[in-house]
Amino acid sequence: MPTYSCFIAKGKLKPEQKKELADCLATVYHEVFGLQRYMTQVIFHELATDDRYIGGHPVPSDVIWIRCDVREGRSEEQKAKLLHRIQDVVAKIGTVPRESVWIYFDDLPPMNIMEWGHIMPHLRAMPAFPENDTTWFDELSEPYKERLRALA
C-alpha cells in the first residue's frame, strides 16, 4: 500500500521514465508518510487516443491521470503535501505541464486491504512512522520477509 495506477497515452513514457517515476513515487510516499518503499506499487496503463475522453473529446496526449489507493487515516495536510509532491515529480519526469497531471487520492478502510497475506492495520494503532512498527512485518513468513528486505 499505496497502489498508484498511472494512465498515460500509448508511448508517452519510455521504459526508463516509467522506472524513474515508479522509484520517485515510492520515495515521495516514504518521505511524506514514512512507509517502507517495498509497500509501494506502481502500475502503468497505456491507452490509445480513442480510449480516454473529457467532455466527449479525446484527451490530449500530455494528460497523465493517477489514481492512488491508500489506507485511510492521513490528515488533509499530509494528503495535500503528497499530492503536490506527486504532481511535481510526474510533471518533471513526464515532461508535461503541472496542470496536465491529474491525481485522485482514494482512501480505503484497512479492513478492505490485504497485502502479503495480511490485512492492513489501522494507522491509529501504529506509531507515527510505520517503518518503526515491526508487528506486521514480524508476522510474515521468512520467505516473504527476505523478499521484502530485498526490495527495501
Give residue-wise pLDDT tens across range 93-110: 999 999 999 999 999 998
Q: What pLDDT, on a 0 to 100 scale, did the predictor assign at position 146?
A: 83
Average pLDDT over the chain reads 88
Write down the pTM of the prediction: 0.83
40 vs 147, which has greater pLDDT? 40
Residue 83 has pLDDT above 80, yes or no: yes
Can you give the CATH number for the domain in which 76 is found?
3.30.429.10
pLDDT > 70? residue 128: no
Q: Which pLDDT score, from 0 to 100, does residue 129 have? A: 45
User: Which residues span the domain enclosing 66?
Assistant: 3-151
Crossing angle of helices 15-33 and 76-94, rounded to 10°: 160
Domain tally for the chain? 1
Query: Of 38-42, 81-85, 100-104, 138-142, which gets the smallest average pLDDT?
Result: 138-142
Per-residue pLDDT tens for 50-67?
999 999 999 999 999 999
Banded pLDDT at 34 (limits 50, 70, 90): confident
Sign, CA dihedral 10-58-56-98, equals positive
Query: Which three cell numbers mark 119?
Result: 490485512
pLDDT of 143 reads 83
